[in-house]
Amino acid sequence: MLGLSILLPFAAAFVLAALPAQRSHLIRVFVVAVAAIGLALSIAIFLAYDHELGGYQLREEYRWLPSLGISFKLGIDGISAVLILLNGIVFFAGAIVSWRLQPRSKEFFFLLLLLVTGVYGTFETLNLFFLFFFYELAVVPMYLLIGVWGSSSDFGTFIRTKEYGAMKLVLYLTAGSLLVWVALLALYVQSGAGTFDLEGLQQALRDGAFSTSFQRIFFPLLVVGFGVLAGLWPFHTWSPDGHVAAPTAVSMLHAGVLMKVGAYPILRVAMTLLPEGAQFWAPVLIGLATVNVLYGAIAAISQRDLKYVVAYSSVSHMGYVLMGLATLDPLGVNGAVLQMFSHGIMTALFFALVGVIYERAHVRDITVLEGLSKRMGVTGAFFAVAGLTSLGLPGLSGFVAEFLVFAGTFRTYPILGFLAILGAALTTVYILRLLAKVFFGPLPERWAHLPDATGYEKAAMAMLVVTIVAVGVWPFPLIRVIDGSVKVLLAGMGVQ
């Protein structure tokens, strides 16, 4: 089943390439169908994971390059199961929202499908070579996706072209992957096991192949390398520029899912294989993550471009993920994983909404946009839900996740726990101001004729809203799956 979920978007990309470019309707139907099957597969994978059994499940293994210890090995635990579900949902919503994308839509969806292949692969593989392979694959299509279909920001004194955003994003992420590459080679050599297999390397760890000093040297390499994609401060600057420049579906996928492709290997590779390094560097990491939270929130307050607000808010919320991971506390790590899911859905919703508004108003300047709720009622309501999730209103998914992160932080670093809550307060500032100004103010003449989101856009966004509420009200199905795997992870690290 795992192999199928990787093969599906990959094969679909090439089928798509064979379709005639003029038949744009056929192409759209095809992509949405693929995304629907992908969603069904993701749900099936999530349900097939047996949380009571624990460990890596749904294994598949194929010979690939034995002389280098590389096999195409797949398997998931509870953490990956949740993220696979996230990917299925966001991709489906993104495919629907891109329905009206016009110029060169065939190439667009071709690249988007490759991106999705990379995401599934990263979450599902148990071989570090393939993890790196899929991780890089998630970077390759980005330059064209942003450069060709993106949009530039021009605020007179502040100009960011889409080419700039695209190049910055790609170079930052590639730079991050370089650190990862060096560290992976070091792990390979140091283990002496001649394998890139994750479990093989875990065995090497238990046999004492990775000395304390080795772990302390290479843990930061992995964390910074993957952290670039997770939006770790101060390596986050590609994210606002890149995500703002990207077309809607790409922003949704990239901020919603791809940033988790950065956070997930920190947990799966860095913390699993280098536990002593993790314990040594955890105070630094949690310090940086706190800066993430606060810096992102303060930056979001001062933006004029609606999309930049969302992008910085995304950076701020990824800070909670990294904080939770760095607590090395069961509550905190559980919260981090749940926050990955919650943030993914919420950010996807945010970017979808910004896309809807921008497509109609052709402006994203929040000093110009006013009172939109009167004409775009559903859009406004959904934006309120996303906003309230973001500031952590109880009953929505963000609350549960952030609460767990705070609890974990208070148990380990109480002072930073206060700062984290301050971050949530700052979020309230920019979200409520935004809602009041852009949606609930008086409606000027200029916006009096804006149509609301179309039916299918509403449907896609409603799906995200329902997910947010469902997880907020009843997070148990997700948490019980996550919790078992987090316990195994922390036990393997030798922390309680």
Partner 1 sequence: MRGDLLLLSPEFLVAGLAFVVLGVDLVLRRERPGWLAAIAATGLAGILVFTLVYLWGKEGALYNGTYAVDAYAFFFKAFFLITGIVIILMSVEYVTKHLTRAGEFYSLILFSIVAMMALAASSELLTAYISLELLSFCLYILASYTGDSRKSDEAGTKYILLGAFASALLLYGISLLYGVVGVTRFEDISAQLQLLQGTSTNPALIAAFVFILAGLGFKVAAVPFHMWAPDIYEGAPTPITAYLAVASKAAAFALLLRLFGVAFLPVAGQWQLLVALLAAITMTLGNLVAIGQRNFKRLLAYSSIGQVGYLLMGIAALAHQGSNPVSASHPAAIGIVFHLAGYAVTNLAVFMGVIAFSPPEQEDIPSYAGLARRSPMLAAVITVGLFSLAGMPFFAGFVTKFYLFTAAAQEGLLWLVALAILNSLISFYYYLVIVRWMYIEAPTDPKPLRLSGLTIAVLAVLLVGILAIGLYPAPLVEAISAATKAIAG
**What does the binding site for partner 1 look like in residue numbers (CB under 8 A)?**
63-68, 129, 133-134, 136-137, 139-140, 143-144, 147-148, 163, 167, 170-171, 174-175, 178, 181-182, 185-186, 188-189
Least Å from the CB of residue 196 to partner 1:
9
| Residue with Cβ nearer partner 1 (32 or 184) | 184
| Residue with Cβ nearer partner 1 (178 or 473) | 178
Least Å from the CB of residue 414 to partner 1:
39
Backbone angles phi, psi at 154, to 5 degrees: -135, 105
| Residue with Cβ nearer partner 1 (65 or 436) | 65
Least Å from the CB of residue 371 to partner 1:
36
| Residue with Cβ nearer partner 1 (175 or 488) | 175
Least Å from the CB of residue 136 to partner 1:
5
Residue type at 101 in one-letter notation: L
Q: What's the rounded Cα separation, in Å, for the pair 371 and 438?
A: 5
Q: Determine whether 302 is exposed, middle or buried from the number of CB atoms within 10 Å of its CB (0-12, 13-18, 19+).
A: exposed
Residue 40 tokens read as 């069904």
Least Å from the CB of residue 277 to partner 1:
17
| Residue with Cβ nearer partner 1 (219 or 382) | 219
Q: How close are the terminal C-alpha atoms of the chain, in Å?
A: 34
Least Å from the CB of residue 471 to partner 1:
33
| Residue with Cβ nearer partner 1 (33 or 178) | 178
| Residue with Cβ nearer partner 1 (65 or 459) | 65
| Residue with Cβ nearer partner 1 (142 or 311) | 142
Q: Determine whether 469 is exposed, middle or buried from the number of CB atoms within 10 Å of its CB (0-12, 13-18, 19+).
A: middle
Task: Classify strands 159-160 and 70-76 as parallel, antiparallel or unpaired.
Answer: unpaired
Least Å from the CB of residue 359 to partner 1:
21
Least Å from the CB of residue 220 to partner 1:
14
Cα torsion 434, 440, 445, 449: sign: positive
